[in-house]
Amino acid sequence: MHAAIIMDGNGRWALARGLPRLAGHRAGAEALRRTVEAAPGAGIGVLTLFAFSSDNWRRPPEEVAGLMQLLAEHLRSETTRCLENGVRIEVIGRRDRLGGELPAAIATAESATAAGEKLQLRIAVDYSGRDAIAEAVRQAAHAGLVCRECLEEQLGPPVDLLIRTGGEQRLSDFLLWECAYAELIFSRRMWPDFDASDLEAAVRQFHARQRRFGALPPLPAVVPTGAQAWLD
């Protein structure tokens, strides 16, 4: 199963505790580590995590610099553990605007863990779904054929389950193509509080959903009566 997570709510988590936003991001890195550890047990083979969007450059430079440094530190400290646990790290998104130690940390993490087969961990940094689609189209056109399969190959596997923490219900330019038939699950939990039981609950909810991909269901659908019209 390919699960993707928009890890949102670090800033509000920190604010609620009277802490600087960066403390929220640091706690978020812990949640990331917990989630990666729990993913294979939850039946997840590919996990794509949104760490920094191309629109996040709009934030104050101190927060951006702190996030970049935190990401580099996280990659460095987690590479050995990932190697031991069969986790293959891959970073998606633009590389040309990343500074400091991050490009080197990415290259080391990716090459050191390249043989991992238990979990494919894709971390989206300076990522924009619209830019990713535009780039895939450019590449396909360059190769002489723009087709659905060609783009899929460039972009990555379709997402089965998309989770967003932090209470917002939007995609914020994440995996737009890949989420064509993703089951969407939104949690009010702020990302630093997310744990293995939340991941398992989301996966359970996913399995309770009926995916139809446009076809008809094997059993006729039961229409709930008296339920409120709008989903929460």
Residues, the chain: 232
Give the residue carrying structure tokens 């993913």. 39
Which residue in 12, 34, 76, 94 binds ligand IPE (CB under 6 A)? 12
First and final CA of the chain: distance in angstroms? 25
Residues of span 61-100 touching ligand IPE by CB under 6 A: 67
Stretch that binds ligand IPE, among 4-12, 149-157, 177-185, 217-225 (CB under 6 A): 4-12
Question: Is residue 8 annotated as part of the catalytic site, yes or no?
Answer: yes
Cβ(99)–Cβ(22) under 8 Å? Answer: no
Least distance between ligand IPE and beta carbon 37 (Å) = 20
Which residue in 33, 45, 56, 135 binds ligand IPE (CB under 6 A)? 56
Options 56, 85, 131, 195, the catalytic residue: 56
Q: What angle do CA 197, 203, 206 make, to 5 degrees?
A: 145
Stretch that binds ligand IPE, among 81-89, 142-150, 162-170, 198-206 (CB under 6 A): 162-170
User: Position 164: which residue type?
Assistant: R
- How many Å apart are CA 173 and CA 156, to the nearest integer? 16
Query: Rule CB under 6 A: which residues touch ligand IPE?
Result: 6-12, 50-53, 56, 67, 166, 168, 170, 172
